[in-house]
Amino acid sequence: MSKVIFFFTLLFVFVPRVKAQEYLIEGKSATIVYEVPEKSKSELFQGALDWFEKEESTSHYTVGSSDPKAGIIKVSEINQVYYKNIGKLMYPKRSGMAEMLSGDFSFDIELVFDEGTYMVKYVLTGMEKEMYGRDDLFYACIDFEEIDEQALAEYNESMNKLLTMNAVFKKRREIFKDNSRSQFEDASQNVLNSMTSNMGSLYSYLKLGE
């Protein structure tokens, strides 16, 4: 739990105008409540809808549904997120190797609006374009609370077979395994931070029109 609080502390230090009064972090989801007391329910709803529709032209947001009477907007998102490359540790003297790798992470977002306040629930739903083609196994290891041991073991077993097939020496395979947990901790942090950062941008728009 302290790790989760640390993530949000970092976010709100760098985005000081974001005032989230309540938040709940679970394995693959984040729920945050924002207060904008000077705005009505309809103003917040329409402002958020305008923001998402504007962002659709440059980002990977898709508005799935919007119900002004209920005050609910549902959005899907695909976001590229970076994480450390263990290969750099396996081959420290190899030039030209990237420090970071990336994957495309997909999310479902639900926003519920009321007078002067709104709630955002972000749910991680999948991952694509993992470096080694282990999309589902990688996704299973992403967790905002604690890395799942069974998922990690399955990922390591699959990667060990792949690296063995590609004639990677045992010592380097062990380096990969020893660092896989920290890779997923790094990726989980970056995924969570990308979610909260994006919603910080929405808050700034609703609060300040920026």
User: How does pLDDT run across 120-148, given as a tens digit for each residue?
Assistant: 999 999 999 888 899 999 999 999 999 99
Mean pLDDT by 10 residues, the chain (210 residues): 40 43 88 94 96 78 93 94 94 89 95 96 94 94 96 97 95 96 95 88 86
Judge contact between 118 and 204, C-beta under 8 A. Answer: no
Distance from chain centroid for Cα 171: 32
Beta bridge mates, 123: 29, 108
Please list, in sequence order, all residues whose beta carbon lies within 8 angstroms of the beta carbon of residue 10, skipping any fewer than 6 positions away.
Answer: 193
- Model-level pTM? 0.84
Distance from chain centroid for Cα 7: 12
> Domains in the chain: how many in total?
1
Beta bridge mates, 137: none
DSSP 3-state assignment of 157? helix
- Report pLDDT for 210: 63
- Report pLDDT for 59: 66
Residue 18, domain CATH: 3.30.530.80
**Domain range for residue 146?**
2-208
